[in-house]
A = this chain, B = another copy of it.
């Protein structure tokens, strides 16, 4: 069957993935991640203290914040700083990124320090949260490596890499890595966060139109598994580079 995807991609084909380390110079980790036209700047900032609820417990913390530049989107969105609050969507995404990264870090081994991942979308074309997780993982790894080099940690406390992909049912067909055109017209949208070894960290599937069946869910998970493997390869190449 020939592709009906707007981009002409095969159902399981990802967009071109680029992970550029050192995109900016002040942060302990700084990565520009691109899934096709989606571009997210992910920086990791190390702070030698933890939030109040963790003080004195000998554990560290990893957290994330997410934002979109007002004109990263097709039409301009109001700036959240000007509106005076972050939308529910923003908060959902930054909580998801934080949870996903904490799932692969040994927080005891990190010690009483906090690492904040700032994921700022420079250009949006669908899949910003999955790109953000994938890029933030590399930025976090980079920052942790620097702590090892600086003698502050004996070893990198990241247990394994973690990446994320969106999959969905578009025109009745399961596809991977939805771009904006697909994202706005799909029936079902699912974000999957998995580790390098195939462990599932997060699954969030939503019926946008009609409910989906268990068989469809299985097909989406299979697509996600293959995609994550490719993303982890890209992360490894970036970290080796």
A interface residues, Cβ below 8 angstroms from B = 24-27, 30, 37, 39, 41, 43, 45, 47, 65, 67, 69-76, 79-92, 94-95, 99, 103, 116, 118, 120, 122-124, 190, 194-195, 197-207, 210-214, 217, 221
Identify which of A81, A122, A203 gathers the most chain B CB atoms within 10 Å of its CB: A81
Are A81 and B67 touching (Cβ within 8 A)? yes
C-alpha gap A223/B221 in the complex (Å): 19
Nearest-neighbour CB distance to chain B for A42, whole angstroms, equals: 10
Residues from chain B with a CB closer than 8 A to the CB of A90 are: 81
Residues from chain B with a CB closer than 8 A to the CB of A27 are: 71, 76
Query: Which residue of B39, B65, B205, B221 is within 8 Å of A70 (Cβ)?
Result: B65
Are A206 and B99 touching (Cβ within 8 A)? yes
C-alpha gap A2/B221 in the complex (Å): 33
Count of identical protomers in the assembly: 6
Residues from chain B with a CB closer than 8 A to the CB of A195 are: 211
Query: Which residue of B25, B45, B103, B123 is within 8 Å of A25 (Cβ)?
Result: B123
Main SS of chain A's interface residues?
mixed
Are A85 and B91 touching (Cβ within 8 A)? no
Are B199 and A207 touching (Cβ within 8 A)? yes
Nearest-neighbour CB distance to chain B for A62, whole angstroms, equals: 14
Are B81 and A85 touching (Cβ within 8 A)? yes
Query: Which residue of B41, B83, B201 is within 8 Å of A122 (Cβ)?
Result: B41
Residues from chain B with a CB closer than 8 A to the CB of A199 are: 207, 210-213
In the complex, which residue of chain B has the Cβ closest to the Cβ of A74?
B26
Report the 8 A-B pairs with minimum CB-CB distance, sorted nearest first.
A199-B211, A88-B91, A80-B81, A43-B71, A45-B76, A203-B205, A27-B71, A81-B81
Residues from chain B with a CB closer than 8 A to the CB of A67 are: 69, 79, 81
Residues from chain B with a CB closer than 8 A to the CB of A72 are: 24, 26
C-alpha gap A151/B89 in the complex (Å): 37
Nearest-neighbour CB distance to chain B for A144, whole angstroms, equals: 16
Residues from chain B with a CB closer than 8 A to the CB of A88 are: 88, 91-92, 94-95
A/B interface sample: 20 pairs, CB < 8 A: A24-B72, A24-B122, A25-B37, A26-B71, A26-B74, A43-B69, A43-B71, A65-B79, A65-B82, A67-B79, A81-B81, A88-B95, A89-B95, A99-B206, A103-B207, A198-B213, A200-B212, A202-B206, A203-B205, A204-B204
